[in-house]
Structure 1
Amino acid sequence: MPTLSLINFNIVCATLGGFISIFGLVSYLFKERFYLSEALISLLAGVAFSPHAANFIRPLDYALGTDQNLDQITLCFTRLVLGVQLVLAGVQLPKRYLQLEWKSLSLLLGPGMAAMWMCSALVIWALVPNFSFLHALAVGACVTPTDPVLSNSIVKGKFADKNVPQPLQRIIIAESGANDGLGYPFLFFALYLIQYTGMGGEGFSGGAGKAMGLWFYETWAYTILLSVGYGVTVGWISRELLHWAEEKHYVDRESFLVFAIALALFIVGTCGLIGTDDLLACFVAGNVFTQDDWFRLETMDDSLQPTIDMLLNLAVFMWFGAVCPWHLFLENNVIPIYRLIPLGILILLVRRMPIIFAMHKYIDQIESLFQTTFVGFFGPIGVGAIFYLSVSREYLANITVNEEVRADAQQVSDTIEVVVWFLVICSIVVHGLSIPFAKAGYHLPRTISQAISTSTNDEPIPLTSNQHTHSTATHDHVETTSRRTRRHDTSLPTTASRSHTPQPLAFQIGRSVIRSASPSSDARIGSGAGEEPARPVNLVLKTETKADSARSE
């Protein structure tokens, strides 16, 4: 006898597939007409299907009921999405882009990231009660990188094509791609000091000297430099192998198109095995892979990569909506809601804007104060922040004394969970609605002004019943003449051609219709014998006034 199989796999497949199908039916309307980002829509869908609402997506069930397993799932999911996104970001950039634009990128990735880190830490330190500046540095490091996934909403699509110059689009892509992998030094600078100096270094010996030694050796040498070298090597070898296979006609079109995505999966897996920075390696490999611009030009008109990109974006933000600890925003032991809301507002305003205004004269791609404001405001916090949140909580869970997490490490872990999740939600909502609100604010006053002006200046002149009948009859006569002329003249020009050719005008005076001669033709217009047939004209009726009606009477 058939029975229902309400297992999690079936429910998740049905939910995810149903949402993507329904969203696909109206995706153009939402993204290109209303300028709503797919991240915001997916987040709201995740909330609707989460245990807080419909309970179709049950993250804790998949994690066997433990928060530690749930953090691990989220960490792996964000690694996968960011790895693919960063390889594709590297592929999108033109030939030798990093070498040519090194000056602008150096400013954004050096002083820019450092200032964003410090500004974020200062705001967090000021608003989180009983929180040290060192702990605030750890939380601020998680939200320092700009997110490559959310950045796509302002560098792709109709809005970007119309309003964002291409050099500005490319520098935003390059910055968001590179700084995600460069978040490790900022994060582990704080985490090492917390481990070896917090609470007097209880449980760990060596002090600040050992913390700095680990920071230079493990973070800069092993994590950053090894990742760059590994990315360059894998990207160059992959490019040469694909060139060779293409010249020998060994690779088919489908495998050629999916090669960059497969490269991303390979780098994420191998970097995870050796414990290095897979995000930075993916971005560097993507750039080296298209160093000669060959692969980018070959796949420019293909839709496979954007399609995979969209599917991953929809899935990850649905997951965020389902796993976000919404209840912690109201009930937590680290920061009350009346401090959390100002924290989100201040981070969005001062985290990035001051340093961009300070450096905009030295960044060639930024040409005006409006573009400076745009770049300063659109520094979204998203998937990268959740990735670093998971990394930091995993590291802090290992700072233990007597098999229990040390008190200061637990406080930092709890604060990171609340603050970073709240800032990510704020960024998704604010940056997702900024463009629609900006467009509405720009067009609404003009629309209202035009409506008022039209209603004031174009009031109809009241006519008597006799005048109304006479005007209607005249209009019908002229329209009948026009239709008869079109019917007998087979050389009637199309709408496009008429729009570029000066046309004779017709004026109605009393009961007579007088047509002016066409400037482009010497043909006579009349109905007498021996005259040429009337040529087609556009008839423009003059509104009959009371004076005209009196004269015609």
Structure 2
Amino acid sequence: MPTLAINNFNIFCATLGGFITLFGLVSYLFKEKYYLSEALISLIAGLIFSPHATNWIRPQEYALNDIEILDTITLYFTRLVLGVQLVLAGVQLPSKYLKKEWKSLSFLIGPGMTTMWIVTSLLVFALVPHISFLHALAVGACVTPTDPVLSNSIVKGKFADKNIPKELQKIIIAESGTNDGLGYPFLFLPLYLIQHIGHQGQGSDNSTRVAMGLWFGEMWAYTILLSIVYGAAVGWVAKKLLHWAEERKYVDRESFLVFAITLALFIVGTVGMIGSDDVLACFIAGNTFTWDDWFRLETMDDSFQPTIDMLLNVSVFIWFGAVAPWWLFAHSPVIPIWRLIVLGILVLLLRRLPIIFALHKKIHQIEEARQAVFVGFFGPIGVSAIFYLYVSHEFLNGITVDGEIREDAAYLKEVMEVVIWFLVICSVIVHGLCIPMAKLGFFIPRTLTTALDSLGRTGSDSSDDPQPAFQQAQAGESETTDAEDRLRRRPGWSRTGGDSLPTRVFRIGRSLMRSGTSSADANRAPGQAPLPVSSVPTIIDSGDGDGEGDASAKVDGKSDGSEVSTGGGGAAPSAPALGEDVISGRTIRFHDEQQQQRTEEAKVGQKV
């Protein structure tokens, strides 16, 4: 007899798969129209599915109600996501990018990252009660690296393509990949000092020399330098092997595309076994793997890697929404909620923006002050901060006295749990909403101004302006543009003469832009027959620049892409209609492909 199997595995699969499926149906709308990041949407979904709401995702039950097992699961999940993301980030960069742009990166990683660490630590020290500056340095180190996952919202997509120069996108990717791996020295300097200086001389050898020896020897030599050498060697060998296999036709297309993903898994596993820095090794390996630009160019137009990237992003932030200590934010015994809010605001404003603005003239990719403000503000805190949080927990659990975690280490764990999680959530929300809010702040005043101007002109005395020329330019329109208002004030403007030159120019121009009619038709007298098609200039409606527009591009006054007479005795080649599939073997048309086809149709129309 069939029985219901409502267990955790089935519930988790149904919840995760159902959300990603439904989100995929409206993903273009949310990401490219409303500019909402998938990280923010996934975090909210994780909160809804968590035990705090619907209880569909139950992280503590998966970890057998053991908090240390849950921390380990989160640590390994973030390691996996960062490893794959950083290999893909390295692959995205052009040939020899780290070598060519070492100067800009050195400013961002050297004084830039150090200042971010010190400023954040000072803010934590000032606002968190009963914490030493050494402990504040450990908290600040966790949120110092910029997150490569959240950085995707400003280096990918329509907003980035339209507003962020390509060179600026590349330096953001390179910085987020490099400073993620270099977070270890900033974190373990205070951790080693906490371990060996001790709490009032208890459970330690009170030796600063031992702590510094470990930091230089174990951290820099074994963890950082070894990971760089290992990542470069593995990336170079992988590149040579793939070249060899591809030249001999030994590798199929699917294996070729998945090569970078499997390389990331290999590095995460092997570097993890030797106890080095797998995050930095993955980024170095990815950049070395595409040192000659061959693999990057071969996979540039393929969607497999971005698809894996999206699945990991959505999954990890759903998990974050489910495991985040939401209840602690308002009821933490170590820091009140108002201090957390003030800390979150100050960290987002002061952690990165001042130092990037001060250094921007030395970084050639940042060409002006406005770009410096943008890059300084967009230094998101995300997956890497949670990764370093649980690396710190693992280390602090080993600082014990009589089999118990030392008192200062236990208190530091509580502080880090609340503060770092809160800063991550603040960053996801603020950086996820700032682009759509900026768009609203730009369009709402303009819309209100236009509406108020239109109402003012509509309610004015008609005898004062008997026949406004611009209200007659197109039937059913009563509004005027700012350009028209400026033209009204110019010498020679006729308030009553509908046939003055300015009136005719704006009437024809606006008619061309808004309705797609020809200049000859817009200017002809009433009752006059339209000119033949051969005399009508080519007009192409390419949409509004946001991927929107009419259902089909208008070529030479026609919208179906059929052949028209050019007046030259021959037939012009027809442009494909929007609904036609111009890509061999494809039946699904996406928005970016439609926009590309409109551009191609425009070129055909210009030739006609």
Distance 1:339 1:495 in 2: 54
In the alignment, what sits opposite 2:210?
A: 210
> Which residue of 523, 538, 542 maps to 1:505?
523
C-alpha spacing 1:259/1:506, structure 2 compared with 1 (3 Å) = same
| Larger CA deviation: 172-181 vs 196-205 | 196-205
Note the residue ranges of structure 1 that are not aligned, 5 or more in a row: 463-474, 476-493, 523-535, 538-553
In the alignment, what sits opposite 1:55?
A: 55
| Structure with greater contact order relative to length (CA < 8 Å, sep ≥ 6) | 1
Q: 1:455 Cα shift?
A: 3.0
| Larger CA deviation: 163-172 vs 198-207 | 198-207
Distance 2:116 2:535 in 1: 70
In the alignment, what sits opposite 2:293?
A: 293
Distance 1:261 1:378 in 2: 27
Distance 1:438 1:500 in 2: 37
C-alpha spacing 1:309/1:188, structure 2 compared with 1 (3 Å) = same
2:525 is paired with a residue whose SS is strand
In the alignment, what sits opposite 2:423?
A: 423
Distance 1:518 1:426 in 2: 62
Distance 2:520 2:201 in 1: 87
1:170 is paired with a residue whose SS is helix
**Which structure would you say has the larger Rg?**
1
Q: 1:498 Cα shift?
A: 7.3
1:199 is paired with a residue whose SS is coil
Distance 1:253 1:195 in 2: 51
C-alpha spacing 1:294/1:333, structure 2 compared with 1 (3 Å) = same
The residue type paired with residue 505 of structure 1 is N
In the alignment, what sits opposite 1:94?
A: 94
Q: 1:204 Cα shift?
A: 2.4
C-alpha spacing 1:454/1:247, structure 2 compared with 1 (3 Å) = same
C-alpha spacing 1:323/1:500, structure 2 compared with 1 (3 Å) = same
Distance 2:360 2:219 in 1: 30
Distance 2:455 2:168 in 1: 42
The residue type paired with residue 70 of structure 2 is L
Q: Does 1:237 align with 2:255?
A: no
Structure 1 residue runs of 4 or more that deviate by more than 6 Å after TM superposition: 459-462, 494-498, 515-522
The residue type paired with residue 12 of structure 2 is V
Distance 1:516 1:322 in 2: 66
| Superposition pairs of residues 112-131 of structure 1, within 5 angstroms | 112-131=112-131
Q: 1:460 Cα shift?
A: 11
Q: 1:450 Cα shift?
A: 1.3
Distance 1:79 1:348 in 2: 25
C-alpha spacing 1:256/1:521, structure 2 compared with 1 (3 Å) = closer
Q: 1:199 Cα shift?
A: 1.3
In the alignment, what sits opposite 2:508?
A: none
The residue type paired with residue 138 of structure 1 is A
Task: Tell me if structure 2 keeps the 8 A contact 1:502–1:519.
Answer: no
In the alignment, what sits opposite 1:45?
A: 45
Q: Does 1:364 align with 2:364?
A: yes
In the alignment, what sits opposite 2:442?
A: 442
The residue type paired with residue 210 of structure 2 is K
Note the residue ranges of structure 2 that are not aligned, 5 or more in a row: 463-474, 476-511, 537-555, 558-608
| Superposition pairs of residues 441-480 of structure 1, within 5 angstroms | 441-458=441-458
| Superposition pairs of residues 281-320 of structure 1, within 5 angstroms | 281-320=281-320
Q: Does 1:265 align with 2:283?
A: no
The superposition leaves residues 67-89 of structure 1 with CA deviations (integer Å, 9 ceiling, x where unpaired) of 10000000000000000000000
2:6 is paired with a residue whose SS is coil
The superposition leaves residues 443-490 of structure 1 with CA deviations (integer Å, 9 ceiling, x where unpaired) of 11111111222233356999xxxxxxxxxxxx9xxxxxxxxxxxxxxx
Q: 1:334 Cα shift?
A: 1.1
Distance 1:429 1:20 in 2: 20
In the alignment, what sits opposite 1:378?
A: 378
The superposition leaves residues 223-258 of structure 1 with CA deviations (integer Å, 9 ceiling, x where unpaired) of 000000000000000000000000000000000000
Distance 2:533 2:231 in 1: 69
| Superposition pairs of residues 330-409 of structure 1, within 5 angstroms | 330-409=330-409
Task: Tell me if structure 1 keeps the 8 A contact 2:45–2:318.
Answer: yes
The superposition leaves residues 249-305 of structure 1 with CA deviations (integer Å, 9 ceiling, x where unpaired) of 000000000000000000000011000000000000000000000000000000000
Distance 1:149 1:219 in 2: 25
Distance 1:26 1:406 in 2: 50
In the alignment, what sits opposite 1:4?
A: 4
C-alpha spacing 1:520/1:248, structure 2 compared with 1 (3 Å) = closer
Distance 1:520 1:502 in 2: 12
| Superposition pairs of residues 145-294 of structure 1, within 5 angstroms | 145-205=145-205, 207-294=207-294
Distance 1:518 1:9 in 2: 69
Task: Tell me if structure 2 keeps the 8 A contact 1:85–1:148.
Answer: yes
Task: Tell me if structure 1 keeps the 8 A contact 2:198–2:204.
Answer: no
Distance 1:373 1:498 in 2: 40
2:306 is paired with a residue whose SS is helix
The superposition leaves residues 344-379 of structure 1 with CA deviations (integer Å, 9 ceiling, x where unpaired) of 000000000111011011000001111010000000
Task: Tell me if structure 2 keeps the 8 A contact 1:90–1:286.
Answer: yes
The residue type paired with residue 283 of structure 1 is F
In the alignment, what sits opposite 2:106?
A: 106
The superposition leaves residues 489-542 of structure 1 with CA deviations (integer Å, 9 ceiling, x where unpaired) of xxxxx999975664473434xxxx4579899969xxxxxxxxxxxxx99xxxxx
The superposition leaves residues 36-84 of structure 1 with CA deviations (integer Å, 9 ceiling, x where unpaired) of 0000000000000000111010000111111100000000000000000
In the alignment, what sits opposite 1:19?
A: 19
Q: 1:200 Cα shift?
A: 3.8
C-alpha spacing 1:253/1:328, structure 2 compared with 1 (3 Å) = same
Distance 1:242 1:455 in 2: 67
Task: Tell me if structure 1 keeps the 8 A contact 2:95–2:290.
Answer: yes
The residue type paired with residue 184 of structure 1 is Y
Distance 1:502 1:166 in 2: 41
1:129 is paired with a residue whose SS is coil
C-alpha spacing 1:502/1:344, structure 2 compared with 1 (3 Å) = same
C-alpha spacing 1:3/1:347, structure 2 compared with 1 (3 Å) = same
Q: TM-score normalised to the size of structure 2? A: 0.78
Q: Superposition RMSD on alpha carbons, in Å?
A: 2.4
Q: 1:205 Cα shift?
A: 1.7
1:330 is paired with a residue whose SS is helix
Task: Tell me if structure 1 keeps the 8 A contact 2:198–2:206.
Answer: no
Distance 1:59 1:459 in 2: 62
Task: Tell me if structure 1 keeps the 8 A contact 2:148–2:173.
Answer: yes
The residue type paired with residue 523 of structure 2 is L
